[in-house]
Amino acid sequence: MSGRSKITLDESELPRRWYNVIPDLPAPPPPPLHPATRQPIGPDDLAPLFPMELIRQEMSGERYIEIPDEVRDVYRLWRPTPLFRARRLERALRTPARIYYKYEGGSPAGSHKPNTAVPQAFYNAAEGTRRLTTETGAGQWGSALAFACAQYGIDCEAWMVRASYDQKPHRRTLMHVWGATVHPSPSAVTAAGAKILADHPDSPGSLGIAISEAVEVAAENPDTKYALGSVLNHVLLHQTVIGEEALAQFDAAGERLPDMIIGCTGGGSNFAGLVFPFLREKLAGRTDPVFRAVEPAACPSFTRGRYGYDHGDTAGFTPLMKMHTLGHDFIPDPVHAGGLRYHGMSPLLSHMYELGMFEAVTKNQLECFASAVTFARAEGILPAPEPAHAIAAVIDEARHCTETGEEKVLLTALCGHGHFDMTAYERYLSGEMGDFELPQDRIDTALAGLPDIG
């Protein structure tokens, strides 16, 4: 192993295909259901919200899907992204583990989200869409879609979860720079938002509410479609450029493939994008890593939710999806990891979790920020609060290796920088930040509203 700290690929090595994990699974995931008929949905049911090419990808049984040249041309603005060996963090922890992180913070929007925003905007533009609506939590997805829409001349309208709208004003500004319209959610401009405000005027919002608002506007306007930043199959598909590049970078570094791969999970796209290509290698018998998902203790859909059919949004506009869920009425506490404050989880990842293909743990907010500060002081990059959850789990595993003497190879995705999260870091450093305890009765109340589907 050389002494390299940064492993890069040439632009010519940019992946040419996205990887679809579904054909390689031992059983297919359960189908989404129409919210009215409760029968499996077809392409026509999704056509009011999505362009046909994305619907095809959502339902595809093909193992690989070609990346259009027009998308790869935009990807080249920041891809391939670097793989770093965290040597300074290893020294700070005095661990024999070898820690690697795939850094996605160098994209125009500062996160992994443009990996799917760009193809979504491209396919919509190709089919004549004039406006895209969307939800955004911490603002990474909203800013990514605003950037992507600007590349293809499409209007962008985003509903930003109120807690993050107030906590992260500079994310709103970035969206405005790229030409987007941004509303706090819940808002008075939609029926779904107005109903929430009437019942809960001080609602901090949630991704489920914001999705309802964006879907409502898209469904009512024929020139408008909806774009989702996580959860759905085609979104996870687009993110596999992360893991495909990482595989090539481990080979270029002369390093063995990881013993453990750790990623944060909210809707699941970052975790899937890193893990799925390595899972393909595991299923082929070429490697045998442990995959560990890390979610916030304040919004633990994997570890404390129920696996069942539920709506992807609060108002019940979306198809019913079989997923790990806390209930579509669940409103998470306003933790600073706004991108992880979602009541559900990717149906595909939920299915794979039920198959025992990876494990899941939770982390509290204070531990995540402490780990992020440790990482920043060693490696120089300030993580966003979302990947700080994965970093906390990586540090745990590295310290375990210190105790056992194991020289494990650990990999995570640092899916975004924290430059827009200074208020959160200021609150942590000043001692003003707290943790949120999630009592079981809040989960039970929300789960009581799940649709009764066997």
Query: What is the Cα–Cα distance from 101 to 453, expressed in whole angstroms?
Result: 41
CA distance 104 to 158: 22
Q: If you ran DSSP here, which 8-state letter would residue 31 be given?
A: P
H helices of 24-110, where? 43-46, 52-58, 69-75, 87-93
In DSSP terms, which residues pair with 325 in a beta bridge? 306
Q: Where does 221-364 have alpha helices with state H?
A: 233-238, 241-253, 269-283, 301-304, 347-354
- Looking at residue 80, its pLDDT comes to 99
- CA-CA-CA-CA dihedral for 447, 449, 452, 454, to nearest 10: -20
Q: What is the pLDDT along the chain (454 residues), one digit of tens a residue?
A: 447 899 999 999 999 999 999 999 999 999 999 999 999 999 999 999 999 999 999 999 999 999 999 999 999 999 999 999 999 999 999 999 999 999 999 999 999 999 999 999 999 999 999 999 999 988 899 999 999 999 999 999 999 999 889 988 999 999 999 999 999 999 999 999 999 999 999 999 988 899 999 999 999 999 999 999 999 999 999 999 999 999 999 999 999 999 999 999 999 999 999 999 999 999 999 999 999 999 999 999 999 999 999 998 888 888 999 999 999 988 887 777 667 778 899 999 999 999 999 999 999 999 999 999 999 999 999 999 999 999 999 999 999 999 999 999 999 999 999 999 999 999 999 999 999 888 999 999 999 989 988 6
Distance, in Å, from the CA atom of 340 to the CA atom of 454, rounded to the nearest integer, reads 28
CB atoms within 10 A of CB 285: 7
* Domains parsed from the chain with CATH numbers: 8-13+68-110+234-438 (3.40.50.1100)
What is the model's pLDDT at position 313?
87
Q: Which of 332, 312, 306 is nearest to 437 (CA)?
A: 332
The H or E element spanning position 159 is strand 155-161
Output the DSSP codes for 290-342: EEEEEEETTS-HHHHSEEEEEESSSSS-SPEEEEEES-TT------S-GGG--
Residue 14 has what pLDDT? Answer: 98
Count the neighbouring beta carbons within 10 Å of the beta carbon of residue 432. Answer: 8
For 187, counting Cβ atoms within 10 Å of its Cβ (0-12 exposed, 13-18 middle, 19+ buried), the class is: buried
CA distance linking residue 278 with residue 48, whole number of Å: 35
- What is the sign of the dihedral through the CA atoms of 300, 306, 311 and 316? negative
Establish whether the linkage from the previous residue to 80 is cis, with ω within 30° of 0: yes
* Tokens linked to 432: 């003003």
Using DSSP's 3-state secondary structure scheme, residue 233 falls into helix
- Do 229 and 144 form a contact (C-beta atoms < 8 A)? yes
Q: How far apart are CA 303 and CA 71, in angstroms?
A: 36
Q: Rounded CA gap, 38 and 367, in Å?
A: 42
Radius of gyration from C-alpha coordinates of the chain: 20
- Given the DSSP bridges, would you call strands 83-85 and 155-161 parallel, antiparallel or unpaired? unpaired
CA-to-CA distance for 280 and 270, rounded, in angstroms?
16
Strand partners, 261: 291, 411
pLDDT for the residue 338? 64
